[in-house]
A = this chain, B = another copy of it.
């Protein structure tokens, strides 16, 4: 994935491996402690890489934070986009995306904590996830499927709800089926008719349930 013997030299591959170790170490440390509380030396140490090598790849902690988030999100995006690929109803798309992310917080806490902790750096997160989410909301409004008047308010409200629910899940503060319950609230917020809420929420959560094709537990 990060190496390609045919189009790169051994040196390039070695370099890529070092970079990859740094990003992986940063992801787990940022997830555990947040960005500010993590020293660069802690990253190189966990990556088992010489301290100075850090600066061969990144100029600052902010820069590796951006890479750490972007790479984590990109990996998840693939799985998510595949799931929502064939859906046409914006309500189903949004429900599934939220169900997926709540599910990921359970299945891959490192990823979950990374998202939640980077809320501090916020702009990174909005950029990483916001593009598609915004469009889905606008689509839903245009299709008359969502009743909300202001797509931006809806974007921030749904995003904020998702992040704090994920955080509560990570903290172990929620009971059964947090993803299902969250989806129900989400769909109601969007203005989906009450008669459809339970059904769509259920389908979305069934689609992301373990065993439904979203493998790779642990990490």
Q: Which residues of A contact B (CB under 8 A)?
A: 34, 36-37, 117, 119-120, 122, 147-150, 152-154, 156-165, 167-168, 173-175, 178, 181-182, 184-186, 188-191, 194
Contact = CB atoms under 8 A, between A and B. Distances in A.
Contacts of A156: 161, 164-165, 167-168, 173-174
Given A153-B178, A153-B182, A156-B167, 15 more contacts: A34-B36, A36-B36, A147-B194, A148-B181, A148-B188, A152-B175, A153-B174, A153-B181, A153-B185, A156-B165, A156-B174, A157-B186, A158-B161, A159-B164, A188-B188
Nearest to A116: B122
Contacts of A163: 160, 164
B189 A186 contact: yes
A144 B185 CA distance: 15
Main DSSP-derived SS at the A contact region: helix
Contacts of A161: 156-158, 160-161, 164, 189
A147 B189 CA distance: 12
A152 B167 contact: no
A150, A154, A159 interface centre (most CB from chain B within 10 Å): A150
Contact of A165 (B117, B160, B188): B160
A167 B184 CA distance: 24
